[in-house]
Amino acid sequence: MPNKNFYITTTLPYINAEPHIGFAKEIINADVIARYHALKGDDIFFNTGTDEHGLKIYQKAQGLGVSVDKYCDDSALKFKVLQELLNLSCNSFIRTTDVKHVAAAQEFWRRCEKNGDIYKKKYSTKYCVGCELEKTDSELVDGRCPLHPNAELEIIDEENYFFRFSAYQKKLLKFYEENPEFVVPNHRFNEIKNFVAGGLQDFSVSRLKEKMPWGITVPGDDNQVMYVWFDALVNYISCLGWPNETAEFKNFWPGVQVCGKDNLRQQTAIWQAMLMSAGVANSKQVLVFGFLTLNGQKISKSLGNTIDPRELVEKYGVDPVRYYLLKEVSTFEDGDFSYEKMEKLYNADLANGLGNLVARTSNLLEKNEIELQLVENSDTDFSRAVFAALDEYNFSEALKIVWEKIKQSDEFLSQTTPWKMTEKEQITNTLRPVAQNILNIAYCLQAFLPETAKKILRQFSYAQVKKGDSLFPKIV
């Protein structure tokens, strides 16, 4: 079977806030998909990065008394370290301040302009710096932005460039119809279809440079910079080298994009219209994930209940954090995080489940000096069942199937009681299928818990398996 090329990209988090657990979920989900495809033998391009332009960034840097460049460098680093922290398999980290991205965004603009989709218009509107957005009166509460009541609204009265979004209503609807798998899950697809069918308004895609210098200069107009959204979306192809006819771009675009549910419009409508305008192929698929709550409450800075992935990883380890987000939180619906649930799940599934099974089995193997020849992925019915759930992005179900195998193995040991046996051959024959199960489990877990899978594969690759350290010490 020839290798296929598989491209997946996250959205780029905006660097004005610390990385939070919601984005961790998004990127871990993407990582599982990428690792799964790698396991199948596909060639992978896995992109993430940072979104760094816009007024909010500019003002924040000024407030801190540092140069914008330095502020961006420092902030981008906080996101880049997630790759190691969360054990991600990304091979591309793009920053919207990268030279190649800036050039790509400008070329993208030129193509949209050439196609007649960018025009200049004078307008006046209220603008919330906190949201980086213009606000309509209907969105305001007491004349203030409800999300940022402490920020003064700015009245913008200027001439900006607009993108002819309205021209793409029919084309988008046709595209959706022709690609029934384009947005997953289906209820999000319906949502965006309804939105587009309801009519589209052109939106502004530039700002006056004198008011907002931190952006990419509009080609042919030194007085204007691109609106941050317009510039940022181009990253999904600039990271592949576009507009150059690179091998990466030819081999990997179009790809799969993932995003949080707040980003539905940007990814599935605005960006798709932009691609059509620039004459670039549309994305292959967009996966729209749910949100996380913390102890049942919405996570937000104003509530002060944000949670830093680094803190979690330091406390529990990478794989337990990945496990929680994959098993306990459904892929497309909202989910909840709490330390209490984290620790319960850790003990039940990782310490008492997988960790204990590996410990008791390897201990019996070592103590009885059993030698085995095991085969990786010997039970293809099992791995197929796991992968079938993965094909539907149902990570929780996939892990459930794996854990059923763990339970079966524990049951088998209890029934056969190999620790009572005296004949080495009998012990060997009893432990062999259990050890083989563990190896098969580890094979499948490579997509989910890469570190743990690696440890087990290594431990069970020797003819004489040793007990080794416990994988997940119980939390007491």
Residues 41-60 that bind RNA (CB under 7 A): none
Member of 68, 274, 280, 413 binding RNA (CB under 7 A): 413
Distances (CA, A) of 456 to 154, 357, 404: 58, 11, 18
Given a contact cutoff of 8 angstroms between Cβ atoms, the answer to whether 252 and 7 are in contact is: yes
Q: Which residues pair with 418 in a beta bridge?
A: none
Q: Does 291 bind RNA (CB under 7 A)?
A: yes
Stretch that binds RNA, among 74-82, 237-245, 317-325, 467-475 (CB under 7 A): 467-475
Q: Are strands 153-163 and 203-204 parallel, antiparallel or unpaired?
A: antiparallel
Nearer to RNA, 201 or 373 (CB): 201
Nearer to RNA, 103 or 372 (CB): 372
Cβ burial, residue 411 (10 Å; 0-12/13-18/19+): exposed
Q: Does 320 bind RNA (CB under 7 A)?
A: no
Q: Does 154 bind RNA (CB under 7 A)?
A: no
Cα Rg of the chain (Å, integer)? 26
Nearer to RNA, 68 or 264 (CB): 264
Q: Does 351 bind RNA (CB under 7 A)?
A: yes
Site string for RNA, 382-411 (x = CB under 7 A): --------------xx--x------x--xx
SS3 446: coil
Residues 324-343 that bind RNA (CB under 7 A): 328, 330, 333-336, 341
How far apart are alpha carbons 333 and 427 in whole angstroms?
46
Distances (CA, A) of 280 to 12, 107, 175, 271: 20, 12, 14, 11
* Closest to 27 (Cα-Cα) out of 84, 93, 86: 86
Site string for RNA, 263-282 (x = CB under 7 A): xxxx----------------
Member of 187, 250, 424, 466 binding RNA (CB under 7 A): 187
**In degrees, to the nearest 5, what angle opens at C-alpha 188 toward C-alphas 162 and 227?**
20
Q: Does 414 bind RNA (CB under 7 A)?
A: yes
* Closest to 16 (Cα-Cα) out of 49, 48, 47, 61: 61
> What token pair was written down for 238?
């600039």
Nearer to RNA, 243 or 282 (CB): 282
First to last CA, the chain: 49
Member of 17, 372, 374, 421 binding RNA (CB under 7 A): 17
Task: Report the phi/psi class of residue 124: left, alpha or beta, with left for phi > 0 and alpha for psi in -120 to 50.
Answer: beta
We find the least distance from the C-beta atom of residue 251 to RNA, in angstroms, to be 27
Beta carbons within 10 angstroms of residue 298's beta carbon = 12
We find the least distance from the C-beta atom of residue 370 to RNA, in angstroms, to be 12
We find the least distance from the C-beta atom of residue 16 to RNA, in angstroms, to be 8
Member of 5, 59, 89, 356 binding RNA (CB under 7 A): 356
Q: At what angle do helices 380-391 and 395-416 cross, to 10 degrees?
A: 150
Stretch that binds RNA, among 72-80, 151-159, 255-263, 435-443 (CB under 7 A): 255-263
Backbone torsions φ then ψ of 204, nearest 5 degrees: -75, 140
Amino acid at 14: Y
We find the least distance from the C-beta atom of residue 69 to RNA, in angstroms, to be 21
Q: Does 472 bind RNA (CB under 7 A)?
A: yes
We find the least distance from the C-beta atom of residue 348 to RNA, in angstroms, to be 4
We find the least distance from the C-beta atom of residue 89 to RNA, in angstroms, to be 19
Stretch that binds RNA, among 7-15, 370-378, 380-388, 441-449 (CB under 7 A): 7-15
Given a contact cutoff of 8 angstroms between Cβ atoms, the answer to whether 259 and 288 are in contact is: yes
How far apart are alpha carbons 345 and 333 in whole angstroms?
19
We find the least distance from the C-beta atom of residue 414 to RNA, in angstroms, to be 4
Member of 88, 94, 370, 471 binding RNA (CB under 7 A): 471
Residues 418-437 that bind RNA (CB under 7 A): 419-420
Nearer to RNA, 380 or 470 (CB): 470
Q: Does 25 bind RNA (CB under 7 A)?
A: yes
Member of 122, 199, 422, 425 binding RNA (CB under 7 A): 199
We find the least distance from the C-beta atom of residue 236 to RNA, in angstroms, to be 14
Given a contact cutoff of 8 angstroms between Cβ atoms, the answer to whether 396 and 326 are in contact is: yes
Backbone torsions φ then ψ of 148, nearest 5 degrees: -135, 70
Stretch that binds RNA, among 60-68, 95-103, 197-205, 217-225 (CB under 7 A): 197-205
How far apart are alpha carbons 326 and 345 in whole angstroms?
12
Q: Which residues pair with 153 in a beta bridge?
A: 128
Q: Does 231 bind RNA (CB under 7 A)?
A: no
Site string for RNA, 442-461 (x = CB under 7 A): --------------------
Stretch that binds RNA, among 59-67, 78-86, 172-180, 346-354 (CB under 7 A): 346-354
Q: Does 200 bind RNA (CB under 7 A)?
A: yes
Given a contact cutoff of 8 angstroms between Cβ atoms, the answer to whether 453 and 424 are in contact is: no
Residues 62-121 that bind RNA (CB under 7 A): none
Member of 20, 53, 95, 101 binding RNA (CB under 7 A): 20
Cβ burial, residue 187 (10 Å; 0-12/13-18/19+): exposed
